[in-house]
Structure formats: C-alpha cells, structure tokens
Amino acid sequence: MTRVRHPGRLAPAGLALVALSLTVSACAPTDRTAGPSPTATQAATTASGTPATPAGSCEVRVDRMTPAERAGQLVMVGHQNGEDPAATRTLVERHDLGSVILMGNSTAGVDQVRQMTDDLRPDEETGRNGVLIAVDQEGGQVRRLSGPGFTAMPSARDQGRMASEDLGAAAQTWGEDLHRAGVDIDLAPVADVVPPDLVDVNEPVAKWGRGFGSDPDAVSTSVTAFVTGLREGGTGTAVKHFPGLGQVVGNTDFASGVTDERTTRDDPLLQPFAAGIAAGTDMVMISSANYPRIDPERAAIWSPTVITGMLRGDLGWQGVVVSDDLGVAAQVQSVAPGERAVRFIDAGGDIAITVDPALAGDMVGGIVERAEQDPAFDAKVRAAAGRVIDLKASRGLADCSLG
C-alpha cells in the first residue's frame, strides 16, 4: 500500500470501511500470545519441534471449499480504525472474505486495538478458514497504530541509518507489539530503492521517508534485519512494492498512468526483494505502476511477466503475492472492480486488496464467474487459495492437518 496521509488526517468519508470477518479455522485458532511459527514451506517442524503442516494438506481443505469460499480467500477488505468492527465482520461472513486491512490512524494503543481485531474475527462455529489481519506499519508518517503499548517507530529513512543489529532488535519489539494487538501481517518493509537523482521528485517513497536508502546493498541489509526481527516478534511481513516504486515520480494512489521507464527484468535495484525473500518474508506486494521495459502492455499487478515470470520464476518466490490497493487507487480506475481482481489472480497473484469495502462483493463475484467459465483460471484460483490457507496455517489461523 502506498496511501499516505498526514498524521491524524482521516480517510475520506466515502472510504469509511465496512465490515469484514472471515471464515475462521475449523479447529480452534492457536493462542495469539504465542510466538511466530515458520511457514510450512520453510521448515519441517516448528521451533518447538511440533511437525509442520503436512505438504498438500491445505490443498485438501481448498478442494472442499465452495467456489465462493475459494474466491473470498483471495480478497482483503479495508476496515477503518475507529469504526464498528461488527459491520466489517458481517461483510466478511457474507462473502467468506479471507483477510482484513486496518485503515486510518489510531492512537488507541495495543489493548484497544486487540479488542478490535478480536471483534473482527468470527467465532469458530461461524468461520472455517481464519481471518488474516494486516496493517501498514512502516514507521514515521506511515504508521497506522500508536498509543499505549506501541513502541516508538522512526521512519524507514531513519531505520536505514541504524546498524543492522539494532534495527533487527527494534523490529522484534515492533513485531511483539503488533502481535499483542492481534495483527498477523505488517505490510512492510518497503524494499524500493530510490536512486540519488530521483530522491527529490519521487512521490510514493522518498517524499515520505518510506525507503531505507539509495544503495541496494544497504537497503538489502535493512530489509533483512526488518523482516527477520519482525517475524521473531511474532508478526509476518510483506516486502513491497515489487518490482519497485523507487524509479517513478507519481504516486499510484493519487495519479493514473504512473510509469517507470528505467527498471528492467534483471535490474540490480531488485536485490532488496531477493533479500526479503531469503529472510523469510510471508508475502510480496506488487506495484500497480507500469514498467514498459518489462511488460509494455500491462501494469505490474496484471502482468504475468512480472508476477509469474520475474517474482515466481526469476526470484523463486512460491508464497503469497498480494496486490497494492485495487479499490480506490487512481491507477486502476479505468478497469471495472471485479475485473481488477480477476486480472490479478490470472497473472499469478493471490490476495487482491480493496480498501473500499463496497467493492469486495464485486471482486469475489468476478472471480467466481470467471472460474466457472474457465477451467484454467479455476486452477489458478485453487492454487492461490491454497497458498493463502497455507500461510494462515503457518500463523496459527487455520488447521490443515485434517484436510
């Protein structure tokens, strides 16, 4: 996500987010005060020695879902901090939505945020597949959650000046704070590298101090420290915005036609994304900008060259791929809401974000309709839902051991 607002400024009324709640695991969720567990594809056993989720078991669970349930797992809907969680929870239950992103800034503190995240999750009898809760908590001006219990979090620009050991230790504390608040995934860190000649004009990253720096080696070190520390603190991560927003001028949230004329498929500035993957990130977020030197026909979020060819192929990423906002971002408004999600899944993506809850039903419906008409697309939906459920199982939100 690149939507940045000045501290304390609320999102427009039209974006006041509606209810979300997901199908919680058929088995009781694990104790959310416990530490993190590695993903099923990263380890054969958990830190405690308990066998990890057996390979393929989540596929069995996905096969038993209805088409609408599978589609719902692939949509993340916004919930406005301070709004009634019951409305979002109702929306989640209605569309079997898989995840929620917390929007707007809150100074309520850990305990009150935890009450909110608990209220967003359906009970065991209502839910089946778990609700994943995410937030943009980068630091500095992009810090959704603060108040009692949340440790001070400087901007990524300042984090990039810290020794890697110090950043890792701080990130572990930030991860512990978010974990206590009931947040599963921090949609951070920003792995984008802004070259020195673009620092003064780069709107999405440099303007807000969201990047670790201009040297890809140094940025890679910071990305590794942040991802490792946050995960050790119990919270997952999503490196973003692949293949980078460091070489653009405009912000895709507020401008259309944002284009990167520089980045190539083998660009050395992609190094921090590879570092984040090696460090064990839980997700990779895709930019909605255009990259004509990679794919001259499609934006990155709809490009199989970017998602399947580069990210999954060149970098070997087999985990969850999440979109930047497909709801209100100016960059995507020329495409119908349902089609936005369909194109993303068709290109190899897994979770389509809409910060506008009113569009969630259109996205789920579009995915279902296309899957019913196209067996090849249905196979992609099943694979994507499998990756999402596998991630949830790794974080104690779903149990695939019994299929």
Predicted confidence (pLDDT) at residue 235 exceeds the cutoff of 50: yes
Does residue 39 or residue 175 have the better pLDDT?
Answer: 175
Assign 3-class secondary structure to the chain: CCCCCCCCCCCCHHHCCCCCCCCCCCCCCCCCCCCCCCCCCCCCECCCCCECCCCCHHHHHHHCCCHHHHHHCCEEEEEECCCCHHHHHHHHHHHCCCEEEEECCECCCHHHHHHHHHHHCCCCCCCCCCCEEEECEEECCEECECCCCCCCCCCHHHHCCCCHHHHHHHHHHHHHHHHHCCCCEECCCECCCCCHHHCCCCCCCHHHCCCCCCCHHHHHHHHHHHHHHHHHCCCEEEEEEECCCCCCCCCCCCCCCCECCCCCCCCHHHHHHHHHHHCCCCEEEECCCEECCCEEEEEHHHCHHHHHHHHHHHCCCCCEEEEEECCCCHHHCCCCHHHHHHHHHHCCCCEEEECCHHHHHHHHHHHHHHHHHCHHHHHHHHHHHHHHHHHHHHCCCCCCCCC
The domain 13-394 is placed in CATH, from the list 3.40.50.300, 3.40.1160.10, 3.20.20.300, 3.30.1360.120, at: 3.20.20.300
The overall average pLDDT reported for the chain is 87
Q: What is the mean pLDDT of residues 138-146?
A: 97
Predicted confidence (pLDDT) at residue 272 exceeds the cutoff of 90: yes
Predicted confidence (pLDDT) at residue 106 exceeds the cutoff of 60: yes
Query: Which segment of 70-84, 99-113, 249-263 scores lowest on mean pLDDT?
Result: 249-263
- Residue 128: predicted pLDDT: 63
Q: Where are the domains of the chain?
A: 13-394
Q: What is the mean pLDDT of residues 123-151?
A: 88
pLDDT in tens, 157-210: 999 999 999 999 999 999 999 999 999 999 999 999 999 999 999 999 999 999
Q: What is the mean pLDDT of residues 319-345?
A: 96
pTM exceeding the 0.85 threshold for the entire prediction? yes
Predicted confidence (pLDDT) at residue 329 exceeds the cutoff of 90: yes
pLDDT in tens, 65-104: 999 999 999 999 999 999 999 999 999 999 999 999 999 9
